[in-house]
Amino acid sequence: MVCTSRRGNDGRCGQTENMSQVASPTVAAAAVDAYKIYGSKDSEVRALDGVTITFDAGRFTAIMGPSGSGKSTLMHCLAGLDDLTSGSVSIGDDDLASLSDRQLTALRREKVGFIFQSYNLIPTLTALENITLPLDLGKSNRDQAWIDTVIDAVNLRDRLDHRPSELSGGQQQRVAVARALASKPHIIFADEPTGNLDSRTGAEILTFMKRAVAELGQTIVMVTHDPVAAAYADRVVFLGDGKVVDEMTEPTADRVLDRMKQFGS
């Protein structure tokens, strides 16, 4: 049988998908021969060690691996928050290394959404002002119908006038998710987005993220250590020692946990 998903470096293949579902995908982001090296000689650390991987548009991908595997480094480099030592990363047709600082800032503002574990909300702004902040900074035209759709989808209609200190952790993360979606970004990067939430609230956030992919065509790349969170994704990529070592499609929490146990963590 032909492997229709990418093979890991150990030659293993993810679960085969129907070819009609994966024909001619649009690449939302990619890394090619990506290296990120800290230090030199005896103190050299290869956070990324020759990673080549693509992330298709309209899919929810989780990146997993033990501490120090390079998963957060890969996400930060893909998002233009950190530079590679060598190799290339791209978002859509944009090679990030070819962009000036101003162009890179504009790309992150206009094409990339971010969801962080710590929410990163502005404490003096209301929920609505936090949601629309990227649009205001970019002086972009608002699609009010879309913003209303996002607000209702994350169930924040009655909390829009509240500041972050007046919101629960789950509500703050819902504001962060809505902010990431408000500008209709090319891709959203999520770094442990449910790490500070209880299991019920985390499940609500992950369910909405999955809906955003399935119903709204959003592309999400999420770093997580949680097999339950990873099971919401369409695909899980496993990193170890700065390399892609395996991947899995149609994951379940049990399958992901079994794979993670092979890392000894």
Q: What residues does each domain of the chain span?
A: 26-261
Residue 177 exposure: Cα atoms within 13 Å on the Cβ side = 33
Under 8 Å CB-to-CB from 66, ≥6 apart: which residues?
240, 260, 263, 264, 265
- Confidence at 14, pLDDT banded by 50, 70, 90: very low
The one-letter code for the residue type at 185 is P
Mean pLDDT of 186-200: 89
pLDDT of residue 118: 84
pLDDT of residue 25: 67
Q: Cα–Cα distance between 208 and 215 in angstroms, integer?
A: 10
Mean pLDDT of 41-57: 93
pLDDT of residue 110: 84
Instruction: List the one residue out of 164, 219, 228 whose CA is nearest residue 194.
Output: 228
Asked whether the beta carbons of 252 and 231 are under 8 A apart, the reply is yes
Phi then psi for residue 86, to 5 deg, are -160, 170
- Asked whether the predicted pLDDT for residue 18 surpasses 60, the reply is no
Q: Cα–Cα distance between 237 and 65 in angstroms, integer?
A: 8
- Asked whether the predicted pLDDT for residue 77 surpasses 90, the reply is yes
Query: The pTM is what?
Result: 0.83
pLDDT per residue over 21-37, tens digit each?
A: 434 469 999 999 999 99
Mean of all residue pLDDT scores within the chain: 86
pLDDT per residue over 113-150, tens digit each?
A: 999 888 889 999 999 999 998 888 876 678 888 899 88
The one-letter code for the residue type at 94 is D
79 versus 110: the higher-pLDDT residue is 79
Query: Where would I find the beta strands (DSSP E) of 151-198?
Result: 187-191
Q: Cα–Cα distance between 56 and 259 in angstroms, integer?
A: 23
- Confidence at 224, pLDDT banded by 50, 70, 90: very high
Q: Cα–Cα distance between 198 and 209 in angstroms, integer?
A: 16
Question: Domain 26-261: what homologous superfamily?
Answer: P-loop containing nucleotide triphosphate hydrolases (3.40.50.300)
